[in-house]
Amino acid sequence: MENILTSVKNKTEALPRVAFHTLGCKLNYSETATIARDFDSQNFQRVDFDSPAEVYVINTCSVTENADKRLKDIVKKALKLNSKGFIAAIGCYAQLQPEEISKLDGVDLVLGANEKFKLIEYVEDLSKNEEAKIYSCEIETANHFESSFSLNDRTRAFLKIQDGCDYKCTYCTIPQARGISRSDSLENVIANAKVIAASGINEIVLTGVNIGDYGKGEQGNKKHEHTFLDLISVLDKVNLIDRIRISSIEPNLLSNEMIRFVARSNKFVPHFHIPLQSGSDKILKSMRRRYMTSLYVERVTTIKKTMPHACIGVDIIVGYPGETDEDFLTSYYFLTTLDVSYLHVFSYSERPNTEAISIEGVVPILVRSKRSKMMRALSVKKRRAFYESQLGKKYTILFEGENKKGYVTGFTENYIKVRAPWNPKLVNTFQVVTLEKIDEEGYVRFTL
C-alpha cells in the first residue's frame, strides 16, 4: 500500500481520492460501506462519485438486466471525471459475468464474491491496466461470512446478518452470485449493533439475502445455531438501539410468533416487506416459490389483526414466462383484495443460467411494460389509502439529514414518509407528531 500513497503524493501532494457507487439492494450498501472503511484506514480520501478521483469502485448488481446496463453508464461517467482513474467492478454481476465486465473500456479490476472484501489488497498501484485483471472464485467456495454494516447515513444503518441463499427460484441468479446461505454469529451481530448505536445512529435495518434463514451456516455450522427469532429477541434487549427495522423476509419464514414478537417490541417497528412475486398459484409453482397465495393471505391477516397500523410492502414480478393475461389479472385482483401498503414492481428479466429462460410462453416486452404500469398504479393507490388511514394519529418520526429542496424528510415507525420545512435542528431526532394531510407530492404533513 505504501507504493500507492508514495506514487500519488509525488504527483499531487495529496491523499489519493476514492469514490464508491452502489447498485442494488441494502445488502450491497452495507458491504460497500465496510469496504470503504478499509480505504479510510489506508489514508485514502473518500469523495462523492460525481467528483474526480484516483480510484472508482462500483459494487454491481445482477437482479435485473437494467442493473447490468447501468454499470456501463457508470463506468463512462467515471472516465469523464478522470480518464486516468482506476476503475474496479466488484460484487454480484462481477461474480456472474467477470469476462463481460472486463471487456468494458476503462475497467481495470474485476472482483467476485469472495475477493471483493480484499479490494484494498488488489489495488497495487493506480495505473490503468491495458486489460482488466479478474479475480473471481468458484461460487461453491463462497461459504465464509463477512460482517458488514453501513455508517454513511446519519440516521439509519444497514446491518448485514445473513448472506447467500439455498432456495432455487427459477428466475434468480443470487445463489450463483453469492453462494450458499450462511449467517453471522449472534455475538458479532450484537457487537456490530452496539458499534452502530454508539456512533449516534438511531435506526438499524437488518439486511441479508434471505434473513428469515438466519442461523444457518453460523460459525461454519450448516445447521441452525440460532433462529431469526432468537436474534431479534436478543437485539430487542440492547439498550443503546432506539429503532430496528426488518428488511425483506420470505412469507414462509415469517412465523406468527415473529409477528407477535414485533407487536410486543418497543424497538422493532411495525413494518414488514414480504416478497410475493405473483398472486397466481400456477405462476408461484412455476417459480418454485415455497408457499401459495393462501399462506400469504394468512401472514397479512395475522399482521393486520395484531398491528392494524402496520405497513406491509410487497415484491411482485410481472411478465414471467408463461404468465397469460388471465394469470396476470389473477395476480392483480389478488393484490387489490390484500390489505397491503405498497408494491415494489419488477418486470421479468431474462438472466443467463436460470431455469426460467427455457420456460415456454415468453411475454413480449411491451406486454411486460403494460403490466408493470398497471401494478405501479395500483401501488400508488395502495400507498395513498394506507396514508389516509393513518391521518389524525400520533406517530414518532425519525428525521433524516438531507436538505431536499427546502424540506427535511423522515419516516414514522410504520414507514410513512413525511416532510416539513428544513430545520437542521430536527436532523437525526425523534419527534412525536399528529399526521394531518397528504401534500401534492405524496408526503404526509404535520405540525410540530
pLDDT in 10s for each residue of the chain, 448 residues:
444 444 444 444 588 999 999 998 899 999 999 999 999 999 899 999 999 999 999 999 987 667 667 899 999 999 999 999 999 999 999 999 999 999 999 999 999 998 999 999 998 777 888 889 999 878 888 888 999 999 877 789 999 999 999 999 999 999 999 999 999 999 999 999 999 999 999 999 999 999 999 999 886 666 778 999 999 999 999 988 899 999 999 999 999 999 999 999 999 999 999 999 999 999 999 999 999 999 999 999 999 999 999 999 999 999 999 999 999 999 999 999 999 999 999 999 999 899 999 999 999 999 999 999 999 999 999 999 999 999 999 999 999 988 989 999 999 999 999 999 999 999 999 999 999 999 999 999 997 7
Asked whether 144 and 192 are in contact (CB, 8 A), the reply is: no
In whole angstroms, give the CA distance from residue 374 to residue 42.
Answer: 49
Q: Which of 248, 235, 256 is nearest to 312 (CA)?
A: 248
CATH assignment of 156-389, among 3.30.70.120, 2.40.50.140, 3.40.1650.10, 3.80.30.20 = 3.80.30.20
Residue-wise burial string across 184-195, b where 16 or more C-beta atoms lie within 10 A, e elsewhere: bbbeebbebbee
pLDDT for residue 185: 95
Locate 68 and state its grid cell: 447490468
Give 209's DSSP letter.
S
Right CATH for 2-137 from 3.40.50.12160, 3.20.20.80, 3.30.499.10, 3.40.190.10: 3.40.50.12160
Dihedral, CA of residue 256, residue 258, residue 261 and residue 262, to nearest 10: -110
Q: What is the pLDDT of residue 401?
A: 86
Q: Is the pTM value of this prediction over 0.75? A: yes
Please check whether residue 437 is in contact with residue 445, taking contact to mean a CB–CB distance below 8 angstroms.
yes
Say whether 378 sits in a helix, a strand or coil. helix
Rounded distance, CA 15 to CA 254, Å? Answer: 48
pLDDT (0 to 100) of residue 9? 46
DSSP secondary structure, 325-375, as one string: HHHHHHHHHHHHHS---EEEEEE----TT-GGGGSS-PPPHHHHHHHHHHH
